[in-house]
Chain A
Amino acid sequence: MFDREYSFRGKHAQYVKDLVDKDKAGLFNRNIDVYILAPIIGYLYGRKAKEDTGELTTKIFAEQLHKEQIKLKFIYRLIMLLDDTYELTTEEKINRAFREKDNIENMQIYESYVLGGVEYLHEKLFDGKLNADDYLHGVYELVDDFYQSLSIREEEQDIYDIIKKYG
């Protein structure tokens, strides 16, 4: 898992380039930064997408993926715990997250969130923006809107208590 080179294809490759390239929005330093954030955004905003078959590709090298393994696996497990594509029981979700390794079907679900997230980010951060100031303002809005909607703040303490139990 996350040990082989990954490529965005077709429109998603274009979207990632739009978000990363210095002469475009240049909001992310690397493709992998998009790849890390996108599944979270995809799940958060309920966006999944199928891989596009267009010719354009943009890569993430295996070495980069390897370096970010901890983060990537953590996010993957989160998605596996939460995704409701197949109406699984909690136990099954936990099994999927922690016991089933290199399951192609699971990986497809994960990547559909990645691509959905890329589409959402592209809509919010690139479409209709004209210049560097617009791009940055897009980021600001994305962050601030999310912050305003965040209800977790009151419940933070709960989570910390739980985490501590395992820690």
Chain B
Amino acid sequence: MLLKSLTLNNFRVYKGEQKIVFSTNRDKNVTVILGKNTSGKTTLIQAFKWVLYGKTDFVTADFLLNLEVASKLLPGDSADMKVVLELEHNDVEYIVTRKQKYLCISTGEVKPEQAKVIIQYKLPNGQVSFEKNYIDTINKILPEELSEYFFFDGERIGNLGSNNRRGRKDIANAVKGVLGLNVLDTTITHLSGGDKISVIGKLKNSIDTQGDKKFEQKKKTMEQLREKLNKATKLVDDFEKTIDYYSMEIEKKEKLISEHRDTAELKKEMDKNAAEISINSRNKEKKEHELKKVFSEKAPMFFMQPLLYKAIKMIEDYDLVDEGIPEMHSEAVDFLIKRGRCICGRKIEIGNEAYNNLMKQKNYLPPQSIGTMLRVFMTNANHFSNMASSFHEEFINIYKELRTFKKKISDLHSINESISDKIKDKPNIGVIEAKVRELKKKLNTLQRDREEEIKNQAIYKNEIDKLDKEIKVLASTFEKNKFVLDCIEYAEYILDILTTHYNAMEKTIRKKLEKKVNEIFAQMYHGNRTIKIDEDYIYEIETPIIDNDFQKKADESKGLETVTSFAFISGIVSLAKAKIDKSFGNETETYPLVMDAPFSNADEIHVENISKILPEVAEQVIMFIMHKDWKYAEKVLGPKLETMYELDKQSETYTIIRGEVNV
């Protein structure tokens, strides 16, 4: 099958008629449709599904008409929505048209009518004919259950590589689908699936206890055990779902962290600097206080020095050395002046020599004597002078320390400013790392809980087996139960044969898948590693020679995961192709591989590696990708590219497919 063109008419965001013609050239087998997020890439994948099988994965799967068209409809108006797919299969050209009429009813509500599908085909002689049995025809071209192995959305591509539950189920289903063992599967379920509705279950329930109390008790215990087992199974299932969710979240966040490792380092440096700034600021503040204290206390003495010098000199020059007469008081002088005659007999008159000498003498006598005061003054001068002598050095030292802290702070601030410029608009890795730690803790608890429940499951199963045997023994004592027991034995025998056969076939296909996956893997990944898939479809990448502890470390690369997922896609595509070939005998038939956002989780190098492989896996590759990914893919896929389109989003409800670009 080769896809030739897809025409959309009022399908979701594709208003009006818009067409994409795919490259069918064997050498240039790649068609690229560039589009930003939410521009309608996924809608294109859904359009294939809808036109071929009448199904979509949209939440509003029953309303696919373009909303702008729908909103303009008046009661009584109608609008057509249509998807047309042209394809070539077995040298016959088919045109598959699925259309749906939408009618605006009297309340203004727009309601879809039943969709109609028409298949036309062109015979080699050019004659066009209608195919009546469209379901059969389409299933011969591409069976619905296998179609999903040719159409991949981005999330599925991610799941396939990450060993998670959905990915494992996807691979398991692919194997099952390819096995074509659905009938066998149904039979097995019919025989043993469920305690109440399966053949074996019903038979066991019909065992007659004949009113035996002990027997009845055992049957009752059995029922309780089965209920416990069902509960445990459901719990394990729930735990697995949650574990998957947490694992994916951790993975996404770790990817973000590793992408921004530099940012994280810078942020750490910034935090360290901030801490240092705060220490230095505290120290600077301390020094400021010290400086102010020293200044307040000692500056007066420091500035006082020239005054002190001048004053002391003045006192010294005036020669105020105490010349007082011992034990004499100035009152004695006053007495003599009043008397008018000195003790030596000389006359004392105001203004004469004796008077002046006596007045001068008063200066040296109490209370006018300032000898004591001068002594106090000089003592203080001495004290203040001492205080001043250490001030300058002390002050300058504190100021220098202050400047050192100030410079450190300013240097750290400018470093942090430049870091801040570098990391602005980048995510806060510290917060994300904390979240990852929290998630990992939760994950650990969940895993422990799951293990616990798995243990319980085993215990219940064991008890059930034991009780089953006991019940059978008890039942056989009653003639009435003999027939039922025989039936159970037959049913279990058949079940055993079917299961063994099923498992053997599954193993074969799984090995085939593993082989194919490894072939592709070897081409994309240059190294000695191989992929092993176990019975639960959990894959492991084995590195020879390295022991187990290091094995885990070697597996941590995320790029490897993307490569692995593409190896799985390739493997699945090849299984599906083989199945169709076998069923319909078209061994030379070609198949497309349609992928939405295939590179969204891959880095530059892996985008290139994968791009090399894809055109070889399928005869036709159609990719919906973002511009940034195309930048890397172009180097490799460029020569293989024939047509390229661009999705031009006009609004949430309208996207234009910009014309075909020939490369």
Contact = CB atoms under 8 A, between A and B. Distances in A.
Contacts of B192: none
Interface string A3-32: 000000000000000000000001111100
A81 interface: yes
Given A74-B380, A98-B374, A99-B370, A159 B312 contact: yes
Interface string A60-104: 000000000011001101110110000000110110001100000
Given A33-B296, A94-B370, A167-B378, A74 B291 contact: no
Contacts of A163: 312, 378, 381-382, 385
Given A33-B296, A91-B318, A136-B402, A78 B374 contact: no
Contacts of A136: 288, 291, 399, 402
Interface string A128-165: 00001100100110011011001110010011101111
A165 B320 CA distance: 12
Interface string B295-328: 1110110111111111111111110100000000
A115 interface: no
B283 to A, nearest CB: 14
A94 B177 CA distance: 121
Contacts of A30: 296
B80 to A, nearest CB: 75
B406 interface: yes
A107 interface: no
A29 B380 CA distance: 23
A166 B296 contact: no
B380 A152 contact: no
A98 B293 CA distance: 31
B373 interface: yes
Interface in B542-587: none
A1 interface: no
B374 A166 contact: yes
B375 A166 contact: yes
B292 A74 contact: no
A77 B292 contact: no
B217 to A, nearest CB: 87
Q: Is the interface of A mostly helix, strand, loop or mixed?
A: helix
Contacts of A44: 303, 306-307
B292 A26 contact: yes
A98 B312 contact: no
A44 B311 CA distance: 13
B379 interface: yes
Contacts of B309: 152, 155, 159
Interface in B513-535: none
A151 B288 CA distance: 29
Given A91-B318, A94-B320, A98-B374, A143 B292 contact: no
A141 to B, nearest CB: 10
A159 B291 contact: no
A167 B296 contact: no
Interface residues of B, number: 46
A70 B309 CA distance: 19
A78 B374 CA distance: 12
Contacts of A91: 318
A41 interface: yes
Contacts of A75: 300, 304
A79 B306 CA distance: 12
Nearest to B373: A98
A18 to B, nearest CB: 15
A133 B370 CA distance: 47
Contacts of A139: 291, 295
A37 B300 contact: yes
Nearest to B285: A132
B399 A140 contact: yes
Interface residues of A, number: 49
A79 B304 CA distance: 10
Contacts of B295: 27-28, 139, 143
Given A28-B296, A162-B312, A78 B305 contact: no
Contacts of B402: 136
Contacts of B493: none
A36 interface: yes
Most buried by B among A77, A91, A163: A163
Interface in A22-60: 26-30, 33, 36-37, 40-41, 43-44
Contacts of B370: 94, 98-99
Interface string A99-124: 10000000000000000000000000
Interface string B385-426: 100000010011001001000100000000000000000000
Contacts of A150: 305-306
A74 B295 CA distance: 19
Nearest to B393: A147
B248 to A, nearest CB: 53
Contacts of A162: 312-313, 315-316, 378
Nearest to A121: B299
A146 B298 CA distance: 14
Contacts of B399: 136, 140
Contacts of B380: 70, 74
B300 A82 contact: no
A67 B291 CA distance: 23
A21 to B, nearest CB: 13
Nearest to A43: B307
Nearest to B296: A33
A133 B406 contact: yes
B368 interface: yes
B384 interface: yes
B314 A81 contact: yes
B490 interface: no
Contacts of B392: 143, 147
Contact of B303 (A41, A93, A166, A167): A41
Contacts of B382: 160, 163-164, 167
Contacts of A40: 300, 303-304, 307
Contacts of A90: 314, 317-318
Given A70-B380, A94-B315, A136-B399, A143 B302 contact: yes
6 contacts: A37-B300, A71-B300, A78-B304, A98-B370, A132-B288, A159-B313
Given A99-B368, A152-B306, A152-B309, 20 more contacts: A36-B300, A43-B307, A44-B306, A71-B384, A79-B307, A82-B310, A98-B374, A132-B288, A133-B406, A143-B395, A143-B396, A144-B396, A155-B309, A159-B313, A160-B382, A162-B378, A163-B385, A164-B382, A166-B379, A167-B379
A-B complex: 4 closest residue pairs judged by Cβ atoms: A166-B378, A33-B296, A81-B311, A98-B370
